[in-house]
Structure 1
Amino acid sequence: MDQSAYSLASESSKRLASKMNQSVVSLASFNGFAKKFSCSGIFIKGKACSATILTSASLVRVPGSAHMIDENLKIEVVLPNGFLVVGILNYYNLHYNVALVDIMGFWRPRTIKISGDPVTSSMDVIAVGSLFAHRKLMAVEGKVLIGKQSELDCIQLCVSTCKITKAGIGGPLIDNDGNFVGMNFYDEEETPFLPRDVINRLLNKKRM
């Protein structure tokens, strides 16, 4: 892994981010040959030859629309081994900006456990993402800001001080023990994230 992709202060944080390499993927949506959106995602479920990826619904959302997806888009996923596969939209929730994408033909991915524990205290965190064009892992450190509300239109979003690019949308926010804290979004002044307990409730309603 190219360590120039990291913006991490400690070797322990770099090692922790590297372990995420087998769990984080990059995704892009296309209309014909035109790329419409690219972001990151994580494996949350895996079987012998299939897997489910948690990512942002921005991947398929009609630009500027709060309630519509573009059903004509093709989804491509770059796997940890660099292979490119087609993704199939399994589920989406535009209010929470969450989507699930299924892929076939990938042998037992390293999945991330999403607990129902709420994020109730400030903690050191690492935001991880992946570039679609280069399959380069990105990671940056920060801290959860308890009590600060995101400027995005969802009151259940939390905020961290991690500075990510738009390619990191949909990627995981993890703590110093490698536990999943939430899914990252993007804003110029801060990094909003959807906390794990909200994601856990959504997945339970879908009966993952």
Structure 2
Amino acid sequence: MFESDSHHNCAKRKYPWFRENIHKSNSYAPGWRFTAKRPKFELYQENVSLDIDTKRAVLESASSVVALLSYTGDQELTQCSGVIIENDATNGHIVLTSARLIRRPTQQNFEENFNFEDDPDENALENHLANNLKVMIYMYDGGSYEGHVCAYDFHYNIAWIRFESNSSIPTVRLRLVDDYINVNPDEEKSVYLRPHSTHFKLVPGGAIVGVGRYFCKPFDLMAAPGEFIMKRRVNEFGCNELLVGTHLMSQCGEGGPLINLSGEVIGLSFYDTGFTPFLPINIAQKCWEHYKRYGELRRPFLGFVATNLWAVDISHIERVISKIPNICNGVLVEKVIEGSSFDSPGLLENDVIVQCGGSTVHSFMEFFEMLWDKKVGDVLQLGVVRGCENELIHVNMVCNEVVQNFYRWPRTGSL
């Protein structure tokens, strides 16, 4: 009965960052946060007995994993996990986490003793900082610090929190991911090499681990082992950049690091029932680099909806391979936004982008990074495979920046 009700509520919710508190208690008065009753990762049997490789990987990153609590005035908002990605000569530290930690509830919900888990309304949270925001950060040794919001991107639901300490705290090792997967059986023996690459190769079935820290004493380290799977969550979240793992976390793991078995951070996990979506660290790293360079978050405007070729329907893959027999992968255009720079030169739905600026495009993440490194106004030539054509088509596009949210989470209106 519980499982059926949970899936029913998950299916009917409109606001994708609402997460049902499946272990809430009704023994307290309305407005209580039920802090002591919230579960750890051990809620799931898969997380109880960890193998030695998982333990080693988690311990490698453990000292950089923190718990976070946010408040609006004296009222608690929510809890998240996060990871220290950077420090400086003055012992200032940067924590990467989920922007759910800092979002402002609507005035109506706030006046009604807002409880994020209890309100499925898509307008429960706004794309604005919470009023009178306070963020507390808790370390593995019980030490606590007040954090200050350094930067945030509601576009990708990520935030960077800065705090200062009396000594330097270790930072985690980051590892960019490579999401290339060959779908062509005739090219199965071909080897894809990125010269001098430091990227971590995502392989279906490959081991990954979600990590978090509990927000109550003794601030326990939590781990959720799982595998990377070729599954999409775009219909629910409207974001093709999200990938999916089988690791199962409780809600306080939201914003915690996703690591490989070397203890390197390859993504950021977001709590959900069932399979867990995660944002590749590539995107968070690009956002942070641009913030440090420009003093604001900047990103390319993707004037179309696209995904990896391996993620689409098998019948479409067959049609592409029949036209270009030696194609291994590429980026499939699912929809072009009318009036965008991708629309004017004639990019069409179901086109497969296989080249960008003369370089081969193997995957969506690779293409996205190519765009991000361009300047506004740069003209970029795309090589496109089109089902009705027997040769490569060249399409020129002008690089722009995002001016508003398109096909991102949370959704706040018609797409």
TM-score (norm 1): 0.90
Partner SS, residue 29 of structure 1: strand
Matching residue within 253, 256, 270 for 1:168: 253
Does residue 1:75 correspond to 2:117, yes or no? no
Query: What is the DSSP-based 3-state SS (H/G/I as helix, E as strand, rest coil) of the residue aligned with 2:238?
Result: coil
Residues 33-182 of structure 1: matches in 2 within 5 Å? Answer: 33-48=74-89, 49-63=91-105, 64-120=124-180, 121-122=203-204, 123-134=206-217, 135-150=219-234, 151-182=236-267
Higher strand share: 1
CA contact (8 A) 1:55 1:98 kept: yes
Q: Which residue of 1 aligns with 2:284?
A: 199
Distance apart, 1:192 and its partner CA: 0.6
Asked if the contact 1:41/1:54 (under 8 Å) is kept, the reply is: yes
Query: Displacement of 1:207 after TM fit?
Result: 2.6
Letter in 2 for 1:70: A
Q: Can you list the C-alpha shifts for 1:58-87, whole angstroms capped at 9, x where unaligned? A: 011123235222141111010222111100
Q: Residues 200 and 119 from structure 1, CA distance in 2 versus in 1: closer, same or farther, beyond 3 angstroms?
A: farther
Cα displacement (A) at 1:7: 3.1
**Is 1:12 the counterpart of 2:53 in the alignment?**
yes
- C-alpha displacement of 1:181: 1.4
Q: Distance in 1 between matches of 2:88 and 2:238?
A: 35
Query: RCO higher in 1 or 2 (8 Å CA, sep ≥ 6)?
Result: 1
Q: Report the Cα distance in structure 2 between the residues aligned to 1:106 and 1:42, rounded to whole angstroms.
A: 18
- State how far apart, in whole Å, the 2-side matches of 1:106 and 1:43 are: 15
Cα gap change, 1:14 to 1:8, in 2 (>3 Å): farther
Q: Is the 8 Å Cα contact of residues 144 and 160 (structure 1) preserved in structure 2?
A: yes
Secondary structure (helix, strand or coil) at the match of 2:135 reads strand
Q: Distance in 2 between matches of 1:147 and 1:156?
A: 12
Considering fraction of residues, name the structure with more helix.
2
Tell me the distance in 2 between the aligned counterparts of 1:56 and 1:43. 13
Q: Decide whether the 8 Å contact of 1:24 with 1:129 is kept in 2.
A: yes
CA distance in 1, matches of 2:148, 2:267: 23
Cα offset, 1:93, TM superposition: 0.2
Helix, strand or coil at the partner of 1:204: helix
Moved more, 20-29 or 139-148: 139-148
Asked whether the equivalents of residues 65 and 82 of structure 2 are also in contact (C-alpha less than 8 Å), the reply is yes
Identity %: 29
Kindly indicate whether the alpha-carbon contact (under 8 Å) linking 1:7 and 1:141 is maintained by their aligned counterparts in 2. Answer: no
For residues 66 and 34 of structure 1, the distance between their equivalents in structure 2, rounded to whole angstroms, comes to 17
Q: Look up the equivalent residue of 2:216 and give its one-letter code.
A: A
> Residues 118-150 of structure 1: CA distance to partner in whole angstroms, max 9, x if unpaired?
344322111100111121111011001134335
* Runs of 4+ off more than 6 Å: none
d(CA) in 2 for partners of 1:42, 1:174: 11
> Structure 1's 106 and 96: CA in aligned 2 closer, same or farther, altered over 3 A?
farther
CA offsets 1:36-56 (integer angstroms, 9 cap, x no match):
110000000012421010011
Q: Which moved more, 1:186-195 or 1:63-72?
A: 63-72
1:167 deviation in Å?
A: 0.5
- Is the Cα–Cα contact under 8 Å of residues 138 and 145 in structure 2 kept in the other structure? yes
CA contact (8 A) 1:51 1:106 kept: no
For residues 143-178 of structure 1, what are the alpha-carbon distances to aligned partners after superposition, in whole Å with 9 as ceiling and x for unaligned? 011343353232211110000011001111111111
Extract unaligned runs of 5+ from structure 1: none
